[in-house]
Structure 1
């Protein structure tokens, strides 16, 4: 494999005892570097490039050779300077990834590269014109990474996108471990790239200090309870700004640029024009399906799940049904990563300790923070709808929705994103049926208001379903009451 790609294929790093790898830490460093007495002669984005945040051939072709690596600025303590250097140094084992307040993990390289393009455009700075022409904002954030990833996998070997991962401690994140085989575009890089496009585009039209931009976009404090930050809308906003046609166009243009660069020329030697176009089309399609049309799902290790008790029973996919629940208690919707993670842990404790189940009963739980939380997940039988657990997924909304509804975005998270995604990925049949929990047992779940809402959804069936199979009868009825 080409040596400069090796750094993109791992996001796990040993503990360092440095400041936590929170976005908050980054914002505080940026704030210090932007102060009038910082003693820094380059912008924060240029400093990031000097430290290796834009070390790939395509990024260097677009933004130019990086400045000379500076000495530690007096505005940063030795610990903060060491953290920043580790987060951005391309020769390190890890591309710098940090935990954002919304619970997502963001790679700093593409984020700050996009910010540099925005700053240059806002200030009339020079962005080289390449042949063929590329949109610099997409080139340095996502187009090169996508093109390279799908080039490497063109023979059918290797992952092209993902995986996600988990931090060792969300309060003091130091180590981030991937949950599967690595690709050049793991979830952290995808998040950083989408954020880089969105924030670079905003800076180009409304130049403000980078610290102010980051603070407003990500929110402040990992435990903020003040509602959804703009970063939790990154998939929706990126999709609105960069449709698949735009993304395909930019990946194709970047592949043609890479063909002329010595480090990447060998990847394209045997690739003709038709195959090049097919690679760009597939890359844009797959990225859009995974990161724009499907919702982000918070894995169990991120919300602090206990281990499953016993041996999970596999589901036979695709399933034919979905059962909608509300948790009833917690009765208030959770509107932040910290609050939703607490609710998940509380429900799991109740289901395991009070009900005696092997795990949290739901397949998935929906927060009002913009995220779906993994319960039993796509592949394991849950304990959500007595008699029907092996036939369908149980999806529970956090809150009591007897008299009120989840907000429109939270309703759409399941109706317009999770369920269509499950169909596209082969986990749910295209002609699936959807019912409220009350139709399958003696319960008011999912509450009168939410039930009236799901009556309007695709697949809703007004009558009760058939009896469950005999292997479901050992499962208890679950309403998630905590």
Structure 2
């Protein structure tokens, strides 16, 4: 009985898709403009939830849990339609209640894809908390923290209930790619969707972080969104690129587990969903919440985000790639030397990736960019040949390990502390847990394996202190610039 009931729940939580939205770019810029227009109307003056609550009214009101926690939004005031043109209104409605998860997202300037519904729900909670310092939660036997309930807990609990009923179903992910990062229109998922694809995870974490900030320091939403998603004037990282670390600092696994369990108990007593979950007992709720919280924190907090090839504009691989056989025993650390400066924005890092691939393919005659992964100073790893394929990074040893290159010349000074931690504290342990890298892996600098100064004196001194560093190396007298 449970599989049918949970499938019914997923259907109930979905709403119909509005008409086609024309050709507005599905970019954070467009969402900010919509929010700005809503904030400019008089219709938000009597709404504690401000523009997000008005947007929810335009979009259909939200899921049963969201309505229980935040209330049913008022009818759309007559003055609102002129504030948004028909394309903006249709797009907002689809973003808040998409037929498929890939239709409810926008592209952020940092290169991440963000689901709009959990983001705006978190902002609404923040505004209501600011207006009423101690807001009441839902009047039910299952109290919840509204900030988590409307952003992440409902989707996460639903995802793992469905997986428990049908073990073959995905619980988290996947990521995906846009057709055009300059004028994004179509987002395509990389595999079968779960209720919590990467974009929903991003939107939910952002909703928690920005909602909490609004509760403490109310601000115009358009200003808040611009300050969060956009790089600074000096080209430094966008604050959104820190979302994983900041969410982890705010949210212990035990807190997330508690909120997922509370959301499921609330769904079990709400009139709209009571019959669908009446056979799910307390023990099952606790087990689902425990696993969901553990997996989410591992995937989206402990492990780093990896920008896929299609997002940085990779050319196709030339020829037929050779498969790696994980878990591999080695990791080889490089610096790119050229480009010689760190990249601190998505645009700069994507451009560096394309430049390196052109050089490796056209000047060196290689099949593809040589590195397995490349580290930007924008907070992200970039997929080169990735986990599956033999690279061209360390001659004679490409089949034995992954080549990880830092964008920049690190002869005189090391990469940013955040970029070092991205590999040392996140990428390497996650690779071990995922079975990509052996637990007893050895880490070496490129110079230990051939005639080169790579990865630069300063970076090499840094990696000498890392777990797994192996001082001995089989340095070769052969040139290092080779595909094999």
1:34 Cα deviation (Å)? 1.6
How do 1:220-299 residues align onto structure 2 when only pairs under 5 Å count?
A: 226-299=235-308
> Per the alignment, do residues 198 and 160 of structure 1 end up closer, same or farther by CA in structure 2, a change over 3 Å counting?
same
* Structure 2 residue corresponding to 1:352, chosen from 361, 364, 383: 361
Equivalence for 2:424: 415
Report the TM-score, using the length of structure 2 for normalisation: 0.91
Structure 2 CA distance for partners of 1:323 and 1:65, relative to 1, 3 Å: same
1:70 Cα offset (Å): 5.1
Deviation at 1:310, TM superposition (A): 1.3
Q: Which of 142, 147, 154 matches 2:152?
A: 142
Residues 79-478 of structure 1: pairs in structure 2 closer than 5 A: 79-90=87-98, 95-124=103-132, 127-155=137-165, 156-219=167-230, 226-465=235-474, 476-477=481-482
Relative to structure 1, the CA distance from residue 420 to residue 92 in structure 2 (aligned partners, 3 Å threshold; closer, same or farther) is closer
1:210 deviates by: 1.0
CA contact (8 A) 2:390 2:398 kept: yes
Cα shift at 1:60 = 1.7
The answer as to whether partners of 2:452 and 2:480 remain within 8 angstroms in 1 is no
Q: Secondary structure at the match of 1:74?
A: helix
The question of whether the paired residues in 2 share the 8 Å contact of 1:38 and 1:75 is answered with no
1:62 aligns with 2:69: yes
Per-residue deviation at 1:228? 0.6
TM-score (norm 1): 0.91
Give the root-mean-square deviation of aligned CA atoms.
2.8
Asked if the contact 1:248–1:284 (Cα under 8 Å) also holds between the matched residues in 2, the reply is yes
Aligned-residue offset at 1:89: 3.6
Question: How many residue pairs get matched?
Answer: 472
Pair 455,145 (structure 1): closer, same or farther in 2 beyond 3 Å: same
Deviation at 1:41, TM superposition (A): 6.2
Aligned-pair CA distance for 1:130? 3.1
Are the structure 2 counterparts of residues 375 and 15 from structure 1 closer, same or farther at C-alpha, using a change threshold of 3 Å? farther
In structure 2, distance between residues paired with 1:90 and 1:98 = 12
Where 2:398 maps in the other structure, the secondary structure is: coil
Larger deviation: 82-91 or 356-365?
82-91
Deviation, 1:258, is 1.3
Structure 2: where are the runs of 5+ without partners? none
Paired residue secondary structure (2:59): coil
CA contact 2:160–2:292 (8 Å) conserved in 1: yes
CA distance in 1, matches of 2:54, 2:174: 29
Contact 1:120 1:126 in 2 (8 A): no
The 10-residue stretch of structure 1 (77-86 or 365-374) with the greater mean CA deviation from structure 2: 77-86
Residue of structure 1 in register with 2:28 after alignment? 23
SS in structure 2 at match of 1:365: strand
Q: Which runs of 5+ in 1 are unaligned?
A: 468-472
Distance change >3 Å, CA 462–CA 474, structure 1 → 2: closer
CA contact (8 A) 1:21 1:173 kept: yes
Q: Comparing 376-385 with 259-268, which one deviates more in the overlay? A: 259-268
